[in-house]
Structure 1
Amino acid sequence: MKSFLTEIKQHFGDGNYEGDQFGGASGHNGNGLPTGLPNNFMFATGIECSYPTIDHGKTRRDLLAECDHYNRYQEDLGLVKEMGLKVLRYGLPYYKIQKDPGKYDWEFADLAMAEMQRLGITPILDLMHFGVPDWLGNFQNPELPVHFAAYCEAVAKRYPWVRYYTPVNEIYVTAKMSARDGIWNEQLKSDKAFVTALKHLVAASIMGTQRIAKHRPDCIIVQSESAEFTHELRAEHTFEVQMQNKMRFASLDLLYGHHPEGDVLNYLYDNGLTRREYDWFMAGVPPGYQVMGNDYYGRNEKIMLPNGEIVTSMDVLGWYNITRDYYQRYKKPVMHTETNTLGDKQASTWLWKQWVNILRMRKEGVPVLGFTWYSLIDQIDWDKGLERKVGTVNPCGLFDLDRKPRPVADAYKMLLQEYGQITIVPHGELFEITTAPATLKVEV
């Protein structure tokens, strides 16, 4: 019997068929450095910008200053471009910009933003990163949402070309470290203070997003939140630890209008959330295109031993399993918004392990939009959560503080060369890139 291939050869030739180059057997496989096209997966890094206060407000930790970014911002942004990256998580120093209600100092912000624009870097603009201006006090201040909303609007008006925002970085961690663990800012250690900080931070994020959307109805909000879990190795689980594993969702529940479990809601009510405030949070998802960013460090995941001792588990579940819990809960597009290790030697292996997690998530059809190695340069004192100003260099950056590349920079470049042109979702090209606002009040 004659083969159909004989007929095809006679009519179309021997391979390399005309038209097949448009995505067939000879179509593009996704390798090559990122192009910056809207459908590209977002490979990113970030510049560490935390600025909480310690010593009961007497000492401000400003990592942009401590890592010398204010003086070397052009060099640092040049390193982003040199890496082949198109996307940067970048935090403007909120505490330095909003000097008083209605009064702003844009001097440094204008320089940095102009340089990013010149280099063709897309910023995911981080507007509050663990601290507030001195005149606002701390996260117990009920005026925070109003003043922060004014700041967000001022930023959106000043930089109308910016579309991506993280209004409030790691809401849960901010509230926990400041009001329950007693380490930053108000340095309180009570459930009531924690709930107060939590509701003020979520409200600030919602009001800030609304102000941004006034000027960019097509804004993309990348909410960066810590992916946490504690394994309790006891035959009978305790209420406290199980509550911790439920409370990790509290910030996103309030932000995304998702009803928490009954015992979490009772806890919130018992510690100062009013029914009127709760109904306000449940009114709907904030405007803009919402992306759920999950930050994952090995130290986020803990094991509680039978004797009560807590040890770091270093990815027993990993980013994939923990983030999958968040995705199943909120059904929003996902981004891996932060990761690193505090040791230089393990960093490259950790990078590849995180990428394996992302590939696994994508294989299941979950829309993972991007990945971030955080941060571009080494950090200081994060091994002690910025609690004490010692000056310990944490070798977790793509570059050290002399701006010399670490081995993980080469590993990231290799990853970019191999996967840099994959689409956000398979065949992401079919989705129109639009400037139209998001219109759904709720996800259906």
Structure 2
Amino acid sequence: MSADTTRKDAVSAQHWMNDGSLHFGVGIEDTFVPQERIGQRRLDEYELTQHYEHWREDLGLAAEAGAQFLRWGIPWFLVEPRPGEFDWRWLDEVAAYTQEIGLRVVVDLMHYGTPMWLENQFLNASYPERIASYAHHVAARYKGVWDDFTPLNEPVINAQYCGETATWPPYLSGQDGFVKLMIALSRGMVRTQQRILEANPAARIVSVDAGFRWEGDETPLPLEILLERRFLSLDLTMGRVDENHPLREYLVEHGVTDADFGWFQTNAVKPDVVGVNYYPGFTTVRYVDGVTVPVEAGTIGLRDLLTLYSERYQLPLAVTETSRGGSVQSRVDWLGESVAEIDALRAEGMPLVGYTWFPFFTLVDWLWRNDLTTPDEWFIHMGLIDLHRGADRVLERRKTEAFGRFQELTNSRRGPTPV
């Protein structure tokens, strides 16, 4: 029996998400890509949305909305400005405030960006140990205040942007690049979970990956590869990629060795909760003449993805991101429709334990990084709160009707206070 399995047996009964309730949360968009190059600006969502200046207000609003938990990310590149040197001043304030207002945080340790000093970013030979060391320090310092962690957000999208489409550093491309990134990211996720549990054996791990669905006959890769790739990070980190895995040949073709497979099987880890990100308007896509076209899939797509993950992993599930862009009314409608579908799935026996509206407030489209216009021209209003810039250039937080509806839901369904 592995140490990870022993730890799971010891703490599973006290896991706050396993009390039988559906826990409601919100998340603050926290993508960080601090590296710049000609034609591409630094991307820091906290900076663009003025969260650094308004963090107390933002966290207070999350608590006011009735959120039982908050998905919130640490800007690693700021907290560890030099290798092994940490600046905890701001993080200490945030941690103390979340404890003061009773807001549980599922800490997003890595949301795309690496520190400036880490050459070649995710492909640096020391990356898995570097991120694991940072995670260990965070888990040790905030033990008892922050005990819930996501080792890395959306590994498949991360591997696509950084390894397949050369959109973000280290700018690899093609299937060879995708696989190299996926192996590096997955090694980092394994080592991160191991080092977190060394620092805090009672810590809980919430994995988070984007859901993917396809319609139509045209796909950029064979459909059977796409269908399996969406599960690849979990399959690797959980040691499930054996000789019979559907992607074994694909991975070997792109440089993965028997030693690599053996390492993942020897070091297999398992999350406490499997998080699935789903957006009804663009999680499902169709390819038309090589161009990606989003397809509206509504609650059908949500049910489909959650069923796939539930049957494959037999673990508690959470919707770790969902929302809808457009009018406030469309957000209100999706809140009602998606929660009703989750209620139905829970009634059918699916172990759904969490629902997260993400983002909590307006975000700046990642394409802003490649543009010369202001952040305001790239605002995407998908949240319960909209941002509006005043004459003083300050971004005002304005509650929408969706905020009120979310508050009503959480107040009417509030379960036992998490311990």
**Same fold? TM cut 0.5:** yes
2:303 aligned with 1:330, yes or no? no
- For residue 106 of structure 1, what is the aligned residue in structure 2? 88
State the secondary structure of the residue aligned to 2:397. coil
SS at match of 1:175: helix
The percent identity for this pair of structures is: 28
Contact 1:334 1:368 in 2 (8 A): yes
Residue 206 of structure 1 aligns with which residue? 190
Residue 95 of structure 1: which of 63, 77, 90 is its match? Answer: 77
1:303 is aligned, of 286, 292, 309, to 286
Call closer, same or farther: CA 1:194–1:42 in 2, change over 3 Å. same
Q: Check 1:46–1:146 CA distance in 2 against 1; reply closer, same or farther (3 A cut).
A: same
- Candidates 38, 47, 50, aligned match of 2:28: 47
1:277 alignment partner in structure 2: 260
CA 1:387/1:295 → structure 2, altered by over 3 Å: closer, same or farther? farther
- The answer to whether structure 1 residue 75 and structure 2 residue 57 are counterparts is yes
Is 1:243–1:264's contact at 8 Å kept on the other side of the alignment?
yes
What CA distance in whole angstroms lies between the structure 2 residues aligned with 1:36 and 1:243? Answer: 33
Task: Please point out which of 383, 386, 389 is paired with 1:397.
Answer: 383
Structure 1: how far apart are the matches of 2:137 and 2:417? 33
Q: How far has the Cα of 1:200 moved from its partner? A: 1.0
> How far is the alpha carbon of 1:188 from its aligned partner?
2.1
Show the counterpart of 1:180. Answer: 164
- 1:438 alignment counterpart: none
SS for the counterpart of 1:135 is coil
Q: After superposition, where does 1:421-436 map in structure 2 within 5 Å? A: 421=415
> Cα offset for 1:308?
5.2
Query: Distance between the aligned counterparts of 1:367 and 1:262, measured in 2?
Result: 26
Matched residue, 2:13: none
Measured against aligned partners, the alpha-carbon deviations of 1:185-208 in whole angstroms (never above 9, x if no partner) come to: 222212222111111111111111
Secondary structure of the residue aligned to 2:132 is helix
Per the normalisation by structure 1, the TM-score is 0.81
Q: Paired residue for 1:378?
A: 362
Shift of 1:169: 0.7
8 Å CA contact retained: 1:53, 1:184: no
Contact 1:228 1:248 in 2 (8 A): yes
Q: Which amino acid aligns with 1:415?
A: L
Deviation of 1:117 (Å): 1.0
The amino acid of 1:211's aligned partner reads R
Give the C-alpha shift of residue 81 in structure 1: 1.5
Q: CA deviation at 1:221?
A: 0.5
Partner of 1:220: 204
Give the distance between the partners of 2:17 and 2:354, measured in 1 at CA: 12
Unpaired stretches in structure 2, ≥5 consecutive residues: 1-15, 388-395
Q: Once structures 1 and 2 are overlaid, which stretch shifts more, 117-126 or 100-109? A: 100-109
Matched, 1:248 2:234: no
Runs of 5+ unmatched residues, structure 1: 1-34, 425-432, 434-444
Alignment of 1:4-43 (within 5 A): 40-43=21-24
The aligned counterpart of 1:13 is: none
Report what 1:407 is aligned to: 401
Aligned pair count reads 386
Task: Indicate conservation of the 8 Å contact 2:71/2:106, yes or no.
Answer: yes
| Cα distance between partner residues in 1 of 2:227 and 2:196 | 32
C-alpha deviation, 1:53, in angstroms = 4.6
RMSD: 2.5
Contact 2:17 2:354 in 1 (8 A): no
Secondary structure of 1:257's partner?
coil
- Counterpart position of 2:216: 232
- Return the alpha-carbon distance in structure 1 between the equivalents of residues 160 and 24 of structure 2: 29
Shift of 1:284: 5.4
Deviations 1:50-102 (A, max 9, x none): 00256548632010111001111111111011112221111011111112221
C-alpha distance in 1 between matches for 2:416 and 2:226: 37
Contact 1:224 1:337 in 2 (8 A): yes
Quick one: structure 1 residues 71 and 233, their matched pair in 2 at CA, closer, same or farther if it must change by over 3 Å?
Answer: same
Larger Rg over CA atoms: 1
Per mean C-alpha deviation after superposition, the further-off stretch among 216-225 and 183-192 is 183-192
Distance 1:88 1:281 in 2: 30
- Farther off after superposition, 128-137 or 58-67: 58-67
What amino acid is the match of 1:60?
Answer: R
Paired amino acid for 1:286: V
Contact 1:375 1:397 in 2 (8 A): yes
The alpha-carbon deviation at position 238 of structure 1 amounts to 8.2
Question: Residue in 2 aligned with 1:362?
Answer: 346
